[in-house]
Structure 1
Amino acid sequence: MQKAKVRKVSTDTLTSNLPEERREQLCASLGNVELTLLYKASVHGYQASAFHQRCDRQGPTLLVAYNRSGYIFGGYTSVDYAQSGREITDEEAFLFSFKSGASSYIKINSGYNARYDDAAWPNFGQQLYFCHNNQPVVYHQGGNALNINTSSMYGNDTQLTECEVYKVEQAPEDSVEEKPWRNVLWTPERRAELMGLIQNHKPLMKSVSRVRILMIGPVGAGKSSFFNSINSIFTGHVTTKAVSGSAGTSLTVQFRIYPVNDGREGKPLPFVLCDTMGLEEQSGAGLDIEDISSILQGHIPDRYKFNPMAPFQPDEQKASKPASLQEKIHCVVYVIDATKISLMSDKLQEKLASIRRKVNSLGIAQIVLMTKVDEACPLVEENLQSLYVSSYIKSKVQEVSSRLGVPVSCVLPVKNYSQELELELNCDVLLLTALQQMLRFADDYFDDIRPVEGNTK
């Protein structure tokens, strides 16, 4: 797999409007390429003749449009514009759209023409027309080549504020980085080995029968989905025991302690996953930081219903008696959506920093689970084994590391089961690798406190 490379273009007359985050994401979908800005409508005019003068016979091109509603959308074609008057077949053509952290890619349906090559402005699938009739608008007339939802594609806002066309060129071979930045064995044998290590794991402390792993993260990041995914692997088929989804507010309203069995009728595995209400940036909403402190110290019972306006208050008798090590949290996992890292608000980042400081003060092991990697990078969506040769995913791992203040080695990219009906080897390897690291980190915590526990006996 190839590393994307971008040529930044900025001259007195041509300055790209494409944000670096989106530039990198588009390049990740195209492989080892450089982008050169050929045409900018606000500079050269919205006339089709101006577009063809600068963009004809330039090879593969990327059209990027912008509207007043904040959508960045457009299309890629690998075939020259030439005003040939022919219907063009292009299996590489696709549409894309970005808005508020979300992204989507639409491929041309097999058997349909990718576009019509005439003297007018570009169209894709003879359905979506840009700068229609030489005006700063986008026009959709329906059709079968592309499955276009105009609401999600551009918010039904047809007025364009800018339109740009980039030449897409292969970068020099010496810029290709084919060596993975992490080594993973994507084999059934490795999957079986990881399952065996987890099934046979024994916590370092004899007083602890099962490692307690606490999942913390923003609403919709995938905490509950991670439990469902791990449970699916050991059950042998995809399950949805924990409520999960993508609602704007947390679907988890209780503190839940989820054991996982080794098969439907098997014995409990040596860990439990603790699910919490999602974090929200505004005060009085989502999980309260004081509740997290009570969870860490083992005071909050299973199925306790969170109240964002009033943190948990243990009764006096329990408050005066420290919880046992078995009841406390041994590893904290921050669950972060890879598609929304750059859009994380300062308030949410400060909440996470406050939690980190509390966890640090207790010496509890910490790790970051970066979810939805397939949605963040089209190459990874096409083949999950591309994960550790994706320069875009590597940049996201580094960004998470910087924002949360954790080492890069503690950031683990995964793909949860979400729409699949059957288990997949590559998903399982990533998920089991992450879980194995959590158990290792918990043992590091036990190793650190073991002399302390020994002195208290």
Structure 2
Amino acid sequence: MQKAKVTKVSITSNLTEEQRKQLCDLLGNVELSLLYKASVHGYNASAFHKRCDLQGPTLLVAYNHSGYIFGGYTSVDYAQSGQYITDKEAFLFSVHGNHSIRINVNSEYKARLDDAGGPNFGQQLYFCYKNQPAVYSQEYCCKGMVKMIIDKTFSFNPATLYGNDTQLTECEVYKVEDDPDVSAEEKPWRNVLWTADRRAELMEIIRNHKPLMRSVSRVRILMIGPVGAGKSSFFNSINSIFTGHVTNKAMSGSAGTSLTVQFRTYPVNDGREGKPLPFVLCDTMGLEEQSGAGLDIEDISSILQGHIPDRYKFNPMAPFQPDEQKSSRPASLQEKIHCVVYVIDSTKISLMSNKLQEKLASIRRKVNSLGIAQIVLMTKVDEACPLVEENLQSVYVSSYIKSKVQEVSSGLGVPVSCVLPVKNYSQELELELNCDVLLLTALQQMLRFADDYFDDIRPVEVNPK
């Protein structure tokens, strides 16, 4: 009797080499092995579970007609347990062209429901919905006759994540494993000395800094950025380093609207009883995209030119009106801003709205017209890249962080050399060497850029006899 011939179906990934690299950058040094391909195995839940259950960490990758590649990662096995899964490492992602975003699970929320249905993330985003080549995003649930917004396990906009195109052309699931062939000693794209001696050297350089202008005793550095990007946290972090322990002098947090409602100038002392250091960090209300909210661009112009006093309370509905007597005399160079720092959350670079980008562009034009030095501080790099979260020294090895630096550079129109990744102190109780080195390096660059500004205007300050 002749045996029936069995035809083995080989499955191949839809990912290009560049797309695979982008996804691996989101995950760190990993290897992806294709487990399930919906066009081959079927868009039904049973086919998904047959191939993906008990496989360890997995990455779901969906494709739609609009060219978006998106999905989610979970570090916990699929097992059809019927339980709500806690997974702090879970995240959603999207790749569209050269842009990629990663959206971490919000703390305190369950990452997914581990049932016998199709894969879901936070019971918010369902793939292969109703055994069809479709994705479904749930924003509301019904209790009786009342329609209620569900808890947001992941904060995302469907238009940004997948272009509001719910029809899938493919859905794949990959097993995620550490890549044994990737060397931890990759060549960094910026050189940094991660030593206690280097930290001490940077602190000494900053202590002894003298502005190029003799009429200026302290460099005034203005922090500008969206709500929650980390402006106040940067001051707290620098203050912590020179105090010798973690402090929280400036109000900071993650509220939806700005916690800073006043213009604040924060000097930093060299130790609790030490002398003032040669710089002042100026904190502003956060930028918001809607009109009548957040910091007004006219207020920024007044700050730059030294007209707004410390503790002035911002009014989003009406810009600052200087006193007539004071406005008749120009502010001294000592009162003006010498370096502007744009503070950008590296986890939200690709999520920045057009309105917010337009506001930043307007501010940039004003700062350019005054010739003031500008730097971009890219915060929360540990949250953006798992490689960096594991070891902060990997920040200048990570190709993902490098791509984000380039994206910021292109979006804001500043040179790559002016974009500085940092990690502020947020949940730590003790100071950390690597964190200090990044923060102090950024501050040193701000002082250098301010000197470039002074150097440019120095001839103007010479009084004719």
- For Structure 1 versus Structure 2, the TM-score category normalised by the shorter chain is 0.7 to 0.9
* Structure 2 counterparts to residues 220-235 of structure 1, below 5 A: 220-235=228-243
Deviation at 1:275, TM superposition (A): 0.3
Instruction: Please name the residue that 1:202 is paired with.
Output: 210
Partners of 2:399 and 2:255 lie apart in 1 by 30
Deviation at 1:352, TM superposition (A): 0.4
Question: Which letter maps to 2:333?
Answer: L
Partners of 1:131 and 1:319 lie apart in 2 by 61
Whether contact under 8 Å (1:60, 1:167) holds in the other structure is: yes
Instruction: Please name the residue that 2:329 is paired with.
Output: 321
**SS of alignment partner, residue 228 of structure 1:** helix
Deviation at 1:420, TM superposition (A): 0.4
Whether contact under 8 Å (1:97, 1:105) holds in the other structure is: no
Is 1:407 matched with 2:408? no
TM-score (norm 2): 0.74
State which of 451, 454, 458 in structure 2 corresponds to 1:443: 451
Q: CA RMSD in A?
A: 4.1
Instruction: Please name the residue that 1:5 is paired with.
Output: none
Partners of 1:165 and 1:174 lie apart in 2 by 22
* Structure 2 counterparts to residues 149-188 of structure 1, below 5 A: 151=151, 153=153, 164-168=172-176, 178-188=186-196
Deviation at 1:65, TM superposition (A): 8.1
Question: Which letter maps to 1:62?
Answer: L
Deviation at 1:217, TM superposition (A): 0.3
TM-score (norm 1): 0.76
- In structure 2, relative to structure 1, the CA distance for the partners of 1:57 and 1:453 (3 Å cut) is same
Q: Say which is worse superposed, 169-178 or 369-378, in terms of deviation.
A: 169-178
Instruction: Please name the residue that 1:113 is paired with.
Output: none
Whether contact under 8 Å (1:98, 1:104) holds in the other structure is: no
Whether contact under 8 Å (2:226, 2:287) holds in the other structure is: yes
Report how many aligned residue pairs link the two structures: 397
Is 1:24 matched with 2:22? yes
Is 1:73 matched with 2:72? yes
Whether contact under 8 Å (2:56, 2:75) holds in the other structure is: no
- In structure 2, relative to structure 1, the CA distance for the partners of 1:95 and 1:301 (3 Å cut) is closer
**SS of alignment partner, residue 348 of structure 2:** helix
Unaligned runs of 5+ in 1: 1-11, 84-91, 107-115, 125-129, 138-149
Instruction: Please name the residue that 1:40 is paired with.
Output: 38
Instruction: Please name the residue that 1:296 is paired with.
Output: 304
- In structure 2, relative to structure 1, the CA distance for the partners of 1:453 and 1:384 (3 Å cut) is same
* Structure 2 counterparts to residues 305-316 of structure 1, below 5 A: 305-316=313-324
Q: Deviations along 1:304-352, whole A, 9 cap, x unmatched?
A: 0000111011112211211000000000000000000001111110110
Q: Deviations along 1:342-375, whole A, 9 cap, x unmatched?
A: 0111111011011001100100000000000011
Whether contact under 8 Å (2:223, 2:340) holds in the other structure is: yes
Instruction: Please name the residue that 2:84 is paired with.
Output: none
Q: Deviations along 1:222-248, whole A, 9 cap, x unmatched?
A: 000000000000000000000000111
- In structure 2, relative to structure 1, the CA distance for the partners of 1:104 and 1:25 (3 Å cut) is farther
State which of 327, 344, 352 in structure 1 corresponds to 2:352: 344
Deviation at 1:161, TM superposition (A): 8.7
State which of 254, 257, 263 in structure 1 corresponds to 2:262: 254
Whether contact under 8 Å (2:405, 2:419) holds in the other structure is: yes
Q: Deviations along 1:130-170, whole A, 9 cap, x unmatched?
A: 999x9789xxxxxxxxxxxx955469xxxx99763125578
Instruction: Please name the residue that 2:97 is paired with.
Output: none
Deviation at 1:454, TM superposition (A): 1.3
Whether contact under 8 Å (2:25, 2:385) holds in the other structure is: no
Partners of 1:364 and 1:175 lie apart in 2 by 42
Counting aligned pairs with the same residue, the percent is: 74
